[in-house]
Amino acid sequence: MELFGTIRGYKDSDELKLTCKEMYSAAEYVKAVELMEAGDYDEAYKVLSYILDYKDSRDKINECEKHKVKQAILASKEGNYITFGTFEQDYFTSNKEPIKWRILEIKEGKVLVICEKAIHYIENACYGIPYSWDKSEMRKWLNGEFYKNAFTSDEKKLIETVNVPVDKAYYDKQGSETLDSVFLLSRSEVEKYFSSMDDAECAMSAQTMHLDGWPDGDLDYWVTADWTLRSISSNGKFEMVYCNNPTNKGFGDQGEYYTGAIIRPALWIDLS
């Protein structure tokens, strides 16, 4: 094809160049399909990236991406980390960064994950009495703006909408069960999936710190998050995992005046 480019316009050289390109694309397309059928999605992706405008190569690229995500997750174990989705986290740039998730449970082809970091802060997320997850601004934001903007259409197909139960282990008045794609953990789930408060510790993203009122000069530092749960305490407030004070880690709630929420999302990925 390079040879035909040097004699452009001579006789039927342009037609022959197109014919060669078509033959090359057809052969590479067949090669990519065979690689996909063999489960080698990395190599298939590389081949397809050179023939994006041939037939449904772009759709095949997306299919490879989806299978690569599945393979990465299936090769992982509980306690490992995966990347899935993108969201603004470093504050200093306008581009979104990949979201890192910790695997909490793998069950029947489905994977429960939680964000490695506290990824967002919502002001007045808990305004109004009585507090409940089903009517909270946290739930509205997670299943609205966050879900819409953090995941591609193919990634959304992997996120399972699940029944989110109320946690009455410590307090009965918990509101109603919900159907959600993204949610916060309950206190009982934290106790189930984390071995200790040290294990449950996470950092705030720079974007979260900025939204929470931290000076811009501090945004490069590691700051441990006190992150919000969907459970309601006996005081009628949303419970929190307190890890910021190393001498006083444990469960608490928002207290009398605090109405903000530090968000550490969780979700189920369905690989079945």
Q: Which residues contact 250 (CB under 8 A, 6 or more apart)?
A: 197, 242
Structure tokens at 36: 């996909």
What is the pLDDT, as a whole number, of residue 253?
Answer: 85
For the cut 80, the answer to whether the pLDDT of residue 92 exceeds it is no
For the cut 70, the answer to whether the pLDDT of residue 6 exceeds it is no
pLDDT by residue (tens digit) across 224-242? Answer: 889 999 999 888 888 999 9
pLDDT by residue (tens digit) across 22-31? Answer: 888 899 999 9
For the cut 90, the answer to whether the pLDDT of residue 185 exceeds it is yes
What is the pLDDT, as a whole number, of residue 172?
Answer: 80
pTM of the full predicted structure? 0.78
What is the pLDDT, as a whole number, of residue 4?
Answer: 43
| Mean pLDDT for the stretch of residues 63-88 | 86
Q: Tell which wins on pLDDT, 129 or 175.
A: 175
d(CA 36, CA 65): 11
For the cut 50, the answer to whether the pLDDT of residue 204 exceeds it is yes
Structure tokens at 129: 């009495």
Peptide bond into 130 cis (omega under 30): yes
What is the pLDDT, as a whole number, of residue 168?
Answer: 85
Are the CB atoms for 116 and 102 separated by under 8 Å? yes
Least confident of 151-155, 170-174, 217-221, 260-264: 217-221
Peptide bond into 215 cis (omega under 30): no
| Mean pLDDT for the stretch of residues 121-133 | 77
Q: What angle do CA 197, 79, 263 make, to 5 degrees?
A: 55
Give 62: exposed, middle or buried? Use CB within 10 Å, 0-12, 13-18, 19+.
Answer: middle
Instruction: Tell me the residue type at 54.
Output: Y
